[in-house]
Amino acid sequence: MFVEIKDLAFHYPNQKDFTLAKFFLTMEKGEIVSVLGASGSGKSTLLRIICGLEVPYSGVIKINNEVMSDESRFVLPEKRGIGMVFQDYALFPHMNVYDNIIFGLKKLPRKERKERADEVLELINMVDFKKRYPYELSGGQQQRIALARALAPQPSLLLLDEPFSNLDADLQIKIREELREIIKKAGITSIFVTHDREDANAIADRILRMEHGFAYPCTVKI
Ligand SMILES: Nc1ncnc2c1ncn2[C@@H]1O[C@H](COP(=O)(O)OP(=O)(O)OP(=O)(O)O)[C@@H](O)[C@H]1O
């Protein structure tokens, strides 16, 4: 298994109840899993734990057979090789598209940086937009650039936190299909959290339903 999350539990210090309890998830390489749950069910918390921004109370997280977190080991977020796409895209407003994309590629030599940026721009079909600033792009285009920026360093795992919440309904439908196509083409294992079952159905290979910190597998798409 490429991703193995076992018996994960977490609670915020100022909360009485556990936000996550006995969370299990295994994923094959290249699989897209959607975690579907109502507001407050713990979806964003789960992603924050997986990428190392929160320390779990207990449980094991392994990616590609490497322990990221267990009772004796905790790998720092920047060492986990995980890409994130947030609700608000979080593009740097003072940088053009190209600079936004190469931001995470500073360790590469200049030539390779440029090649990789061109490659991901090609993947999202936006080669002609590299000189534009985020304010010169539509919501859907910004969303694709955020995705390209997350994919550029070739993460082992991609986490997407409700990336459509700022898009209008028509655009949301179009982007859903595009997003699945881009992620599948890139072959990146991805976890996508959402409260919208249509989003989950359209994008994921498999859906987990999250309720009060517990996750239930759905055997069929819903
Ligand atoms: N920093 C924090 N400190 C304490 N409690 C928190 C903190 N962040 C979130 N919570 C609580 O943990 C629970 C889960 O929050 P989380 O943001 O993970 O839910 P979510 O499913 O992502 O919700 P949404 O869809 O609204 O973003 C909520 O009850 C929330 O109030």
Pocket test for ligand 1, best of 17, 36, 41, 54 (most atoms within 8 A of CB): 41
- Evaluate whether 51 touches 44 at the Cβ level (below 8 Å): no
* Identity of the residue numbered 142: Q
Nearest ligand 1 atom to alpha carbon 12: 4
- From ligand 1's centre to the CA of 61, what distance in Å? 20
Nearest ligand 1 atom to alpha carbon 195: 25
pLDDT per residue as tens, the chain (222 positions): 999 999 999 999 988 889 998 899 999 999 999 999 998 889 999 999 999 999 999 999 999 999 999 999 999 998 999 999 887 768 899 999 999 999 889 888 989 999 999 999 988 888 999 999 999 998 888 888 998 999 999 999 999 998 877 777 777 787 888 889 889 988 999 999 999 998 999 999 999 998 877 777 665 555
| Both structure tokens of 118 | 């061109």
44 touches ligand 1 (CB under 6 Å): yes
Which SS3 state, helix, strand or coil, does residue 20 take?
A: strand
- Evaluate whether 45 touches 121 at the Cβ level (below 8 Å): no
- From ligand 1's centre to the CA of 19, what distance in Å? 8
